[in-house]
Amino acid sequence: RMLKRQMQCRLDINRLNAVFLAIYESLIPSEEEKVKQEQFFMLLEKLVNKEWPEAGLYLYGSCANSFGVSKSDIDVCLAIEDAEINKSEVLLKLADILQSDNLQNVQALTRARVPIVKLMDPVTGISCDICINNVLAVVNTKLLRDYAQIDVRLRQLAFIVKHWAKSRGVNATYQGTLSSYAYVLMCIHFLQQRRPAILPCLQEIGHTYSVTVDDIQCAYFDQVEKLRGFGSGNKETIARLVWGFFNYWAYNHDYANAVISVRTGSILSKHEKEWTRRNGNDRHLICIEDPFETSHDLGRVVDKFSIKVLREEFERAADILHNDPNPCATLFEPY
Ligand code: CTP
Ligand code: MG
- Dump pLDDT digits (tens) for 252-285: 999 999 999 999 999 999 999 999 988 888 899 9
Closest-lying ligand to the alpha carbon of 181?
1
My answer on whether omega of the bond before 196 falls inside 30° of 0, hence cis, is yes
Percent of the chain past pLDDT 70, that is, above it, reads 99
- The CB of 179 under 6 Å from ligand 1? The reply is yes
Q: What is residue 77's predicted lDDT score, i.e. its pLDDT?
A: 98
Sheet containing 74-79: which strands, arranged edge to edge?
56-60, 74-79, 127-132, 116-120, 104-109
pTM above 0.95, yes or no: yes
Q: Is the CB of 61 under 6 A from ligand 1?
A: yes
The pocket of ion ligand 2, defined by CB under 5 A, consists of 61-62, 75
Ligand 1, atom 19, lies closest to the CA of: 180
Q: How far is the CA of 179 from the centre of ligand 1 (A)?
A: 7
Q: What's the pLDDT at 5?
A: 79
In short, whether 260's Cβ falls inside 6 Å of ligand 1 is: no
User: Residues 9, 14, 20, 23: is their CA dihedral positive or negative?
Assistant: negative
Mean pLDDT of the chain: 95
State if residue 67 touches ligand 1 by the CB under 6 angstroms criterion: yes
ipTM of the complex as predicted? 0.98
- Return the pLDDT at 169: 98
- d(CA 317, CA 20) in angstroms, rounded, equals 14
Ligand 1 pocket check for 292: Cβ under 6 Å: no
Please say if the pLDDT value at position 86 is more than 80. Answer: yes
176 lines ligand 1 (CB under 6 A): no
How many residues are given for the chain? 335
- Per-residue pLDDT of 12-32, as tens digits, reads 778 899 999 999 999 999 999
Q: CA 307, CA 318: separation in Å to the nearest integer?
A: 17
Which of 33, 69, 75, 144 to mutate to test ligand 1, by most ligand atoms within 8 A of the CB atom?
A: 75
Q: Whose CA is nearest to atom 6 of ligand 1?
A: 181
- The region, left, alpha or beta by phi > 0 then psi within -120 to 50, assigned to residue 197 is beta
Residues 136 and 211: beta-carbon distance below 8 Å: no
Of the two residues 8 and 118, the one the predictor is more confident about is 118
Would the CB of 140 count as within 6 Å of ligand 1?
yes
Residue of 27, 37, 62 to mutate, ligand 1, most atoms within 8 A of C-beta: 62
- Check if 177 has its Cβ closer than 6 Å to any atom of ligand 1: no
Q: How far is the CA of 120 from the centre of ligand 1 (A)?
A: 19
Q: Which ligand is nearest to the CA of 163?
A: 1
**Higher model confidence: residue 7 or residue 288?**
288
Between 123 and 246, the more confident residue is: 246
Cα dihedral across residues 285, 176, 159, 141: positive or negative: negative
Q: Determine whether the shortest distance from the Cβ of 134 to ligand 1 is under 6 A.
A: no
Mean pLDDT of 71-75: 95
For residues 134 and 64, what is the distance between their CA atoms, to the nearest angstrom? 15
- pLDDT at res. 326: 85
- Mean pLDDT over residues 96-125, rounded? 93
Q: Looking at residues 120-144, what average pLDDT do you find?
A: 96
Q: List, for residues 185-209, the tens digit of each pLDDT value.
A: 999 999 999 999 999 999 999 999 9
Q: What is the pLDDT of residue 11?
A: 66
At 6, the pLDDT band (50, 70, 90 cuts) reads confident
